[in-house]
Structure 1
């Protein structure tokens, strides 16, 4: 006997009612699971075929359309997880893809401890469906990529102008604290994101002007620092990442990941624009596993005798 989604939901809610769940809780369960079922129907996804990528896309859709808070997302996922666990146990589903699906928890309150997987999840999230939101995402992705690729301060990315970008050599001319200028590299992903954004730029701003700021509003006005902060936070939420992301945290991520992979404190100091090396040394706490590995390989009395 084939049981459709509506019947499955009704059966599950009846069982919950027998377990003396409150009316308010049952209504929340019904709303959350129905929302997910409607989402699956709109994308021609059978409940039995749902994968983690579909759950991630659903979370992104709810954040984008309804600006849901992390606590609301957690409650909604809990409802879906419990329903699908029940369906799996009753053999209505072969497996429960929501079983180990979790929003990323907020990192420890030390700089630069958002892991690379989380950064990738933010950067590689699907484009929004509406054209306006899609264009905003293209601009925001360019901001995110530059913050992470080059370790820029918020004010530095906000003040970046068209003439500051050398696409051929993949270099940025940055005016930092005290009007000090430095040259920093940016990666291929950042280059692609910025070039994609600049294809849309004329429609928002008009002709390219060398001294014009790179990141602007839809009305052609320069983005303010608070606007950039809000967009960075929003895009992390849209990706289903429960991290209080802000531009300075991406700068910390850049420094930590660079130092972890290179061990070159002086180079990281130069790219960050730190006048004093001791400022950069806060990042030497990262990756103690790698530190132990380097010690084992390099120290003459740490090596095992053959």
Structure 2
């Protein structure tokens, strides 16, 4: 069987994925799907229209038996699921067979948020007001103000920014709008007034580098790490920690898990609960305070002899 019968749809899917996903995600999905393609070919699959849940289960079972870590196994399944959704949208499948397979259980490695006072001191540190410094300050404030993922911030164009909110494309190509706080709006205004000193003509990207083109993922990560050292933040700083700090600090103040879920762009509430370190005691306290059948009532014990 020629490889192209299965390879062509994969190539089309990965090309579309690259428009909004990070290069690291695209590379990982390419490896995952290529491995499944080889497995499917060996199993006699001649067309993606023949894809079914049984084949997916056997493949994931084989990967598990090879000792693949739960996180990598979950990514394999996620890559297959997103590809299957594309096949459904193209009419090659009537449903997503991957959705009929269980998700691997994940160990909970929770990121640690930056202390709110330390983070405020870090963000308020003075800078030299150069175009690059304004850009860096705007990125920091926007990460923390709006809880953006690295890929979401890097993909922002000028047209995505409004006076008090920003439009982003999240995981799975899902669009959402998130508010921009006052401090972030001020930093963004300062950056945009200086952006023309760096950006090349016609460049749509909101954040650009010294050569005038869109700032890449790795460059953003390095700038955050360097700023943490320069400003005396005694711990490593990366975009995910700012996103986690945004979620944790907002939840501590508002106790509104659903709102935080919407702002983060999580499909499932359970993801937000783990991500924001929401513990059982917090849930129990909220339940006792809010549920009419859970409120504590003082009762006089029954008299002896009158049970």
Q: In the TM superposition, what is the alpha-carbon distance from 1:283 to its structure 2 partner?
A: 3.9
TM-score (norm 1): 0.56
Q: In the TM superposition, what is the alpha-carbon distance from 1:135 to its structure 2 partner?
A: 2.7
| Structure number with higher relative contact order (C-alpha < 8 Å, ≥ 6 residues apart) | 1
Q: In the TM superposition, what is the alpha-carbon distance from 1:204 to its structure 2 partner?
A: 1.0
Q: Equivalent of 1:144, from 140, 158, 176?
A: 140
Q: Equivalent of 1:232, from 224, 232, 256?
A: 224
| Paired residue total | 189
2:247–2:276 Cα contact (<8 Å) kept: no
Q: Alignment RMSD, CA only?
A: 2.8
Q: In the TM superposition, what is the alpha-carbon distance from 1:276 to its structure 2 partner?
A: 1.3
Question: 1 CA distance for matches of 2:116 and 2:209?
Answer: 29
Deviations 1:132-152 (A, max 9, x none): xx3322111100111111110
1:261-272 counterparts in 2 under 5 A?
261-272=253-264
SS in 2 for 1:113: coil
Q: Equivalent of 2:160, from 159, 164, 170?
A: 164
Question: 1 CA distance for matches of 2:214 and 2:231?
Answer: 25
Question: 1 CA distance for matches of 2:151 and 2:144?
Answer: 14
SS in 2 for 1:204: coil
Question: 1 CA distance for matches of 2:281 and 2:267?
Answer: 29
Question: 1 CA distance for matches of 2:210 and 2:179?
Answer: 28
Q: In the TM superposition, what is the alpha-carbon distance from 1:302 to its structure 2 partner?
A: 8.6
Q: In the TM superposition, what is the alpha-carbon distance from 1:155 to its structure 2 partner?
A: 0.5
**What residue is the counterpart of 1:215 in the other structure?**
207
Q: Equivalent of 1:175, from 169, 172, 185?
A: 169
Q: Which sections of structure 2, spanning at least 5 residues, go unmatched?
A: 1-108, 299-307
TM-score (norm 2): 0.55
Question: 2 CA distance for matches of 1:198 and 1:238?
Answer: 24
Q: Which sections of structure 1, spanning at least 5 residues, go unmatched?
A: 1-108
1:111–1:253 Cα contact (<8 Å) kept: no
Is 2:196 the counterpart of 1:199? no
Residues 195 and 245 (structure 1 numbering): CA distance in 2 closer, same or farther, change over 3 Å? same
